[in-house]
Amino acid sequence: MLTRRQFFANSLATVAGASLAEWILSPTSHASDDKDTVKVMQYDDSGQKVGPIRVKKVRKTDDEWRQQLTPLQFEVTRKEGTERGFTGEYFNLHDKGVYRCICCNNALFSSDTKFESGTGRPSFWAPIAKENVRDTNDSSLGMRRTAVSCTECDAHLGHVFDDGPKPTYLRYCMNSASLKFAKQG
């Protein structure tokens, strides 16, 4: 017969052992605490989902980014700049394909969700995968907005607004300078 003290000690040991086993056997428990990697959804250029993957965060110095990017791309993606409306490469593009991050090639948007917003910038009602973009509060320019960046490399992409079309009613207003288009087929 167990004493109350032995019963509680055995119960505590059982719970602790089960929790430890679950933590050890869980493939995501260690990775979720890893600040050097992120989970993204991979897509091929036809827009087909390849699957989730953990990738190492892309971190480069400003000089390394300047070597890779044009001055406008650097200003927009690394310094949170904005290109002038109706001047970007993709605002009036209607081809089928995938819009990728200019900095790291992460799939960001599909042409299937692109729509004409009248802003002179490529606009989408949803990202290709929630995991691939990150929203943050932006109070610059004296107003409250939601900035959108690439999960993999932290490139500034543009802003999201709640005045878009169905089904999400969102308008992801992106800078062409932050994107590169991979044409389907």
Catalytic machinery residues? 173
* Cβ atoms of residues 172 and 158 within 8 Å: yes
Q: Cα separations (Å) of 88 from 5, 60, 109, 114?
A: 72, 25, 16, 15
Which residue is associated with the tokens 């992409």? 157
Amino acid at 66: R
With 0-12 / 13-18 / 19 or more C-beta atoms within 10 angstroms meaning exposed / middle / buried, residue 168 is: middle
* Cβ atoms of residues 114 and 176 within 8 Å: no
Please name the residues in contact with 144: beta carbons below 8 A apart, sequence gap of 6 or more. 137, 138
138 backbone dihedrals φ, ψ, rounded to 5°? -130, 115
